[in-house]
Structure 1
Amino acid sequence: MAYYVPERDYKPEQIPVEQLTHIIYSFANLVDGEMTFRKPEEAGAKLAALVKQKERNPDLKVMIAIGGWGADGFSDMALTEESRAKFIASSKAFIETYQLDGMDMDWEYPGISGAGTKARPEDTQNFTALMKGLREMLDTFESPKLLTFASAGWKRYYDFIETTEVMKYADYTNVMTYDQVSGVSIYTGHHTPLGDVKSADIAGTPFKAHMDSLYQNGDNLDPDPRSAQKIVDFLIEKGVDPKQIVIGGAFYGRVWKGVPPTNNGLYQLSGGLHVGWMAYHAIREKYETDSNFVRFWDDKAQAPYMYNAKDSLMLSYDDTVSVALKTRYAMEKGIGGIMFWELGNDTKQEGSLLDAIYKEAQK
């Protein structure tokens, strides 16, 4: 399941749709409580071109995501029965217009402000009501329509949604098992790990002291580092059907600067906020070919990282090995599948991340 942000140099006809089951165009906008495009003549043409790729893979499901990080208006839209009905009607018209196979709700986050978005205590119940209304609307179509939502890879999020109720209406929850160490962290760590790392595994590191303080003051509900395995087990314990859980791969990395060489830069205090995110195609071109960058593998986290001692840079990312492992885990665990953010960040050369996922899935 690929999230796809249209770009000038990666048109729909170039996408290897034969390797995908679902592709989610990102994003539609929430404007005056309705689903729409701010520039429909431009974005609508790109979405129509994407839908046309079903000619190459008739089994492909093309969906629309609405929202995303920093997108506001969801709390107001979901507030009343009338405001929800207005949005649901606009969603139906949108799906009809573009002949889509479903929609993905990217409300980040009900009950919790993300990037300054409005949040209310009532969001919890209102999100359930919204998903119920969307499900009922989607079920009026002659052909089956999918309803998914992007969820967080950390436990506190699930205190603010009625998880098992919402899952009655959603086909899948797309768990964002990346940014587990985020862009506001001055501590290095794995941002998209698969493995279940325990607090004891990182004893003596600055990251461990940081995690302990977050746990003690209630900002983290778990003393251990986050991971895909940890949140999957948590959701299954909460009663979510494993087949409805989709985990995420990151087609981008996070880079910190001013990182000391201890432990090859992992779990250290950096010299400031991280440099930023980097698309995998740029990692392939700039870092994997640079002899100053050395790749390391963390068996506990089941994740790679790179360290450049010359420039004191540390990179956390997914590579072909780790996304294949996530795919294998998804199959062996019996969960719904794997998704990733986002397709355009992949290398367009041979040996891409999507290739690695597809090959592993065929085994």
Structure 2
Amino acid sequence: MNHKRSFGGILAAVVLLSFSSAVNAAETTIHLYTGTASAEAWTCPITLPVTDRSIYAAGNTIAIQCETEAAPYFVLTSNSGGESWAQVLPDGAEGDRYYYSYDAMTAAFGTDFSLLDYISVMAADAPVTVYAVDMLVGNASEDPLPEEPVQHTARVVGYLPDWSYQAYGTLDFSALTHLNIAFCNPDTEGELSCRIPDNEMRNIVNKAHAADVKVMAALGGGGGCDGYLPLLDTPEEMAAFNEKIMAFCEAYELDGIDLDIELGAAHGIWEHYADWVVSLRKLCDERGYEMSTATAQWVAVHVTADTFSLFDFINVMAYDNDADESSHADMEFAQSSLQYFNVQKKIPKEKLVLGVPFYGRGYTADGALDWNSYVAFSQLIASDTANYNRDAYNGVAYNGAPTMREKCALAKEYGGIMIWEVSQDAAGEYSLLAVMKDELTVAAVRGDVNADGVLSMADAVALQKWLLLLPDSALPQWRAGDLCADGKLDAADLSLLKREVLQLRNAA
């Protein structure tokens, strides 16, 4: 059918709505029509006479929402100096609702709309119902975009100790997926606490959550486990203690718990450990919490495969290896530690998180690991920045950047990487956490606002819905849509996004 000829014959049957609206720089959307207007096939339920052409500036975009069984046409017409028109197919659909956007001053169809007189909608082969026609103003949004979480290819779990919690002020939260507060331990009544002041604890949680990082209460730790046994001695005492653990997490809006029980084989806690984990798992599931554990081979002998299976992931402490006379945390020990838990404890690879040290240890004259020697990576860099690319300095063994990259590659084959601990990192260009961020995150696909890994018209629909403030219109990757690179999302970005999608289609 010739839409150009048909259009003139149906004007008398359509809904005529006039509008006049000058551009307000504070507005992002000008509502041209909202309601319900229906028409049969090949007729127009909506025709909007244009009385103010100033809103059809370059970069502004017309957006339409409608329902039909067949994709309707979006028709722009001008009767000044001869009739001209364009048919615009939809960006995409969700159910029966179609979404359109059209850059008002782009001659994509060889038509000059500088003398635009009408906007109309018609369905080609089916009835159509129009719900909204809006003008999205291209340069109206002045609010800068918030920081967006990066995409991780594996877990990155960092421990923040309560004795040096101030490091959170300069911590790159976007490099992490989980932050474990070390440590949150009970008093004799079972009430959990840590040495981080209440207001600082809440600041840490808020900053982490803003970066989409989960915060876990780490329980136990080396030297912090002695008070647990009396709280687990009977089922009643265990249940009461567990409720207090949950209350602590709820009070600080935490996302789960991490059990770091480091006690010897003769300790009575192992008689209760399996039951404790079962009961904690149930409570965590009820609240949507994650539950992890930090362990090493010498601890794992007390824990069955069935008990390990109850954790969401296992942080494997592949450091402090006193059987090696040259390095307490080399690649061979990392590999053998992961293999032990995978093979002997039957833990799937994707649940095993490789623990790495942000510190070094020295050795005694006879080659034994010196437990009194402990040097933060930041101190090693302060001594000599060349230590960034080394694994040993003045008798201290540690992991420099090249080894950390190797361990990141290994971590990708498993469930991620864990850091003990983040306050020991060096700053700026010598940061090991920055190495992990480079190795274990990926940049979002340009324009992929819906985070499905590809740029398509579905992204145009998602961005249009977001600009119109429609329900369920959150954008998982909003910065991917900032194609104008001005720190804003607006109609100009939508216009560029559509053009890039069309270019990809044409190239294909």
Given the two structures, how large is their TM-score scaled by the length of structure 1? Answer: 0.72
Q: Does 1:16 align with 2:172?
A: yes
Q: CA deviation at 1:44?
A: 2.5
Match of 1:285 among 382, 398, 411: 382
Q: Does 1:248 align with 2:355?
A: yes
Structure number with larger C-alpha Rg: 2
* Residue identity matched to 1:175: V
Match of 1:84 among 234, 238, 261: 238
* Residue identity matched to 1:316: A
Specify whether residues 351 and 134 from structure 1 end up closer, same or farther in structure 2 by C-alpha distance, changes over 3 A only: same
Match of 1:176 among 314, 317, 329: 317
Q: Does 1:327 align with 2:327?
A: no
Q: Which residue of 1 aligns with 2:291?
A: 147
CA distance in 2, matches of 1:54, 1:233: 32
| Residues 158, 180 of structure 2: 8 Å contact kept | yes
Specify whether residues 34 and 274 from structure 1 end up closer, same or farther in structure 2 by C-alpha distance, changes over 3 A only: closer
Q: Structure 2: 5+ residue runs without aligned partners?
A: 1-156, 443-508
Q: Does 1:357 align with 2:436?
A: yes
| Residues 162, 194 of structure 2: 8 Å contact kept | no
Q: Does 1:232 align with 2:341?
A: no
Specify whether residues 15 and 88 from structure 1 end up closer, same or farther in structure 2 by C-alpha distance, changes over 3 A only: same
Specify whether residues 256 and 165 from structure 1 end up closer, same or farther in structure 2 by C-alpha distance, changes over 3 A only: same
Q: CA deviation at 1:345?
A: 0.3
Q: Which residue of 2 aligns with 1:300?
A: none
CA distance in 2, matches of 1:137, 1:328: 35
Secondary structure of the residue aligned to 1:249 is strand
* Residue identity matched to 1:77: L
Given the two structures, how large is their TM-score scaled by the length of structure 2? Answer: 0.52
Specify whether residues 273 and 252 from structure 1 end up closer, same or farther in structure 2 by C-alpha distance, changes over 3 A only: closer
| Residues 246, 339 of structure 1: 8 Å contact kept | yes
Q: Structure 1: 5+ residue runs without aligned partners?
A: 114-118, 196-226, 260-267, 297-303, 309-313
| Residues 125, 161 of structure 1: 8 Å contact kept | no
Specify whether residues 330 and 35 from structure 1 end up closer, same or farther in structure 2 by C-alpha distance, changes over 3 A only: farther
Q: Which residue of 2 aligns with 1:137?
A: 283
CA distance in 1, matches of 2:316, 2:403: 17
* Residue identity matched to 1:165: D
Q: How does 1:204-283 map to 2 (within 5 A)?
A: 227-238=333-344, 239-256=346-363, 259=365, 269=367, 273=370, 276-283=373-380
| Residues 256, 275 of structure 1: 8 Å contact kept | no
CA distance in 1, matches of 2:171, 2:243: 31
User: Deviations 1:222-277 (Å, cap 9, x if unpaired)?
Assistant: xxxxx1211211211131111111111100001236x4xxxxxxxx536x946510
Q: Does 1:158 align with 2:281?
A: no
Structure 1 stretches of 4+ with a deviation exceeding 3 A read: 6-11, 272-275, 293-296
Instruction: Tell me how large the CA RMSD over aligned residues is.
Output: 2.5
| Residues 309, 347 of structure 2: 8 Å contact kept | no
Q: Does 1:68 align with 2:149?
A: no
Q: Does 1:53 align with 2:207?
A: yes
Q: CA deviation at 1:151?
A: 0.4
CA distance in 1, matches of 2:429, 2:159: 20
CA distance in 2, matches of 1:194, 1:33: 43
**Identity rate, percent:** 24
Secondary structure of the residue aligned to 1:139 is helix
| Residues 27, 68 of structure 1: 8 Å contact kept | yes
Q: Does 1:97 align with 2:248?
A: no
* Residue identity matched to 1:336: G
Q: CA deviation at 1:35?
A: 4.3
Q: CA deviation at 1:173?
A: 1.2
CA distance in 1, matches of 2:166, 2:310: 34
CA distance in 1, matches of 2:170, 2:214: 17
CA distance in 2, matches of 1:4, 1:338: 15
CA distance in 1, matches of 2:371, 2:343: 34
Q: CA deviation at 1:33?
A: 5.2
Secondary structure of the residue aligned to 2:259 is strand
| Residues 186, 192 of structure 2: 8 Å contact kept | yes
Match of 1:43 among 186, 197, 211: 197
Specify whether residues 127 and 346 from structure 1 end up closer, same or farther in structure 2 by C-alpha distance, changes over 3 A only: same
CA distance in 1, matches of 2:302, 2:374: 28
Q: Which residue of 2 aligns with 1:209?
A: none
CA distance in 2, matches of 1:9, 1:165: 35
Q: Does 1:305 align with 2:411?
A: no
CA distance in 1, matches of 2:169, 2:396: 32
Secondary structure of the residue aligned to 1:34 is coil
CA distance in 2, matches of 1:9, 1:137: 28
Specify whether residues 13 and 236 from structure 1 end up closer, same or farther in structure 2 by C-alpha distance, changes over 3 A only: same
| Residues 150, 173 of structure 1: 8 Å contact kept | yes
Q: CA deviation at 1:287?
A: 4.4
